[in-house]
A and B are shown apart, each in its own frame.
Chain A
Amino acid sequence: LLIEDDTETALYVTEGLQQLGHIVVWASTGPDGYFQASHNDHAVIIADRMLPGMDGLTLVKNLRRAGVLTPVLFLTTMDDLNARVEGLEGGGDDYLTKPFAMAELVARVNALTRRSQHLATMAQTRLVVADLELDLLSRTVSRAGKLIELQAQEFRLLEFLMQNSGKIVTRTMLLEHVWDLDFDPGTTVLESHMSRLRAKVDRGFDCELIQTMRGYGYVIRPN
């Protein structure tokens, strides 16, 4: 479900998601969006913060109060200062600043749909991708039975990648989730962390699990 009053953005999002096989329902006002969200089941709600009739934040707060647990991705403008904190506190699950790249949106929607599908199994303590295993309790990582020493940041990085295994994780998603950053600290910063992680996880093994999607982000998956 897409709740967005700007036709241009709405068409852009709809086309992008439809190409990937998603079904998009578009509501252009707050009350309309609320009606759709509370009467039909959706995998993900993408809501603009500024909507005619009822703003996005109020809409989501009302939905949560009404017991609708569909994951919500907020769209915000650049000049909205506290968008992130407010959005997440108000019941949103993720946020994205306009303008955004389609790849970014897709990656986030995928992460959210996956999260909603696996809501029941979220309490898992082991993440496994091929022969790579990550134990959340003992905070250890091993590949093919061999223990891998990781620093705290590298561990969080790998944990986030593995939680979204098979899905592309964008640079900004990593920066937000692993370092809680709301800005891009420059190209080399993340790459350097990633290359260290890859050196530890993939070096000496035949198949590279962590792959770079140039211009978008990274993905971890068994080949």
Chain B
Amino acid sequence: MSYGRIRLFQTETFRLAAIYVGLFLGSMLFLLALIYFIVSNAFESDLLRNSRDDLAAIRKAYVLGTPKNKSLHEAKEMIDDRLLASDAADLFLLQKDGVRVAGNLPTMAAQAGMIRMDYPLPSGARAGSSGRLLGAGELLAPGIYAFVGRDLYATRHAEDRMVLAFAAILLLTLILSIAGGLVLSRSFVRRIDSITATCRSIMAGRLNDRIPVRGARNELDQLGSTINDMLDRINSLMEGVRQVSNDIAHDLGTPLTHLRNRLERARRDPHGGTDAIEAAIADCDELIAMFAALLRIAQIESGARRAGMQTIDLADVLRSVVTLYIPALDDAGHPVTADIAPGLRMLGDPQLLFRLFANLLDNASRHTPRGTPISVIASHAGTQARVTVADSGEGIPAEDRELVFRRFYRRERSRTTPGSGLGLALAEAIADLHGAHVALEDNKPGLRVVLTFPLTEAAALPRAAE
């Protein structure tokens, strides 16, 4: 294989995986930051609430202290009690006129409300000279200030651990995502490589190669089997084209040989060979008609006629075909019955439709013995028109029914009757152009050609006005 393996990191899958991982990590980072923010906020508001509770208790002790001159003392005692029982994280201050009365904090400016600040650590505590606290202060009376706080060290510590844990999670996710991306890309690249390899091999001429399909219903398998179906279709079309060119070579060869023979005879004929020349001209006309029919089929199949479509009544077309053919069919001894429902409005090319039914009637009369009845029936079938052209001749065996639509195909027993073998091929091409479905059925006995045409919507209902 001349086709080099795509380097893994350049693959589309890897790129997509990388984008995905990036987005995932980003959203995770955002989420973790949010969690961090909420948790640390919750910690702090918890601390603050505790502080405020303590402060309220101190205020209560001060306000309710009796007698009045012992108020400050009550508050001081309360703080001293708390300091005895408490752990090191609780911080108190009670000061009067800038002088500490109780507590374990140095005096500070008497500021009410929430306070966040650094404070000097008492000696013998944790390393470092200052800690950070969060607390609330209140003026209990003019000159008397109380403050309750909590050291933030424990909170900070918990927060740091949280950050560490988050970082570990992110790292792990990153590693897993990259590994996953690589694995994904590799398996994807392998599948794509196999598709590419198959395509290359088909390009190189091995037309029967197909993309391996695993049977899982994933999109790659679907792509593979779609490509395989497409290849089958292309193959059958190519087969058709090959068949047609073989047939053209074969079927046009015969009349050309006849033509040549006739002209030879005309040359040898001492009387000028007028008859032979006449016959030769007739041969030429037949060949020209054959080419014209082939050309017409090709044009119809290419859809070039679609532009000329208009809304028509199929019943009108059918009636005029039948009227045209009745005398000829009558002369050939075929009784004709026609039962055509009116108002079969559809989009179509009347000339081509005329030709379609003309071909079918022509076929019916040529391939059945004298005296065989022929019927044309057209009726509404929901949103479709159903047209049946039936005879009670010998019919076509089921195994040949597909073949008769092939260009130049003529059944063995028909070889002796005149005809190009193009009639049904043309009929089918016209039917296809009109979105019609053609079915050959057994009329028991005989052949029944059933065509179903889509009607235009307004016409699906019987016309009430008429």
Contact = CB atoms under 8 A, between A and B. Distances in A.
Interface of A: 78-79, 81-82, 85, 97, 99, 101, 153, 179-186, 188-189, 191-193, 195-196, 215
A210 to B, nearest CB: 15
B42 to A, nearest CB: 82
A191 B291 contact: no
A181 B332 CA distance: 22
Interface of B: 278, 281, 285, 288-289, 291-292, 295, 299, 304-305, 308, 320, 323-325, 327-328, 330-332, 351, 354-355, 358, 362
A192 B351 contact: no
A42 B308 CA distance: 34
Q: Which of B278, B308, B324 has the most CB of A within 10 A?
A: B324
A188 B361 CA distance: 12
Contact of A188 (B308, B320, B331, B358): B331
A188 B285 CA distance: 16
Given A185-B324, A185-B358, A192 B331 contact: yes
Residues of B contacting A: mostly: helix
Nearest to A185: B358
A79 B299 contact: yes
Nearest to B281: A101
28 contacts: A78-B292, A81-B304, A81-B305, A82-B308, A85-B308, A99-B288, A101-B281, A101-B285, A153-B323, A153-B324, A181-B351, A183-B358, A185-B324, A185-B362, A186-B328, A189-B324, A189-B325, A189-B327, A189-B328, A191-B328, A191-B331, A192-B328, A192-B331, A193-B324, A193-B328, A195-B327, A196-B327, A215-B278
A215 B362 CA distance: 21
Q: Which of A179, A186, A191 has the most CB of B within 10 A?
A: A186
A177 to B, nearest CB: 14
B332 A184 contact: no
B330 A192 contact: yes
B327 A193 contact: yes
- Judged by DSSP, the binding face of A is loop
A10 B66 CA distance: 139
A192 B328 CA distance: 5
Contacts, number: 52
Which of A78, A85, A215 is packed against the most chain B CB atoms within 10 Å? Answer: A78
B308 A192 contact: no
Nearest to B284: A99
A193 B328 CA distance: 7
Contacts of A101: 281, 285
Shortest beta-carbon contacts, A-B, top 7: A192-B327, A192-B328, A189-B328, A188-B328, A192-B331, A185-B358, A193-B327
A77 to B, nearest CB: 9
Given A188-B331, A189-B327, 16 more contacts: A81-B299, A81-B305, A97-B292, A101-B281, A153-B324, A181-B351, A181-B354, A183-B358, A184-B289, A185-B325, A185-B358, A186-B328, A192-B328, A192-B330, A195-B327, A196-B327
A188 B332 contact: yes
Contacts of B304: 81
Nearest to A197: B327
Contacts of B355: 183
B376 to A, nearest CB: 15
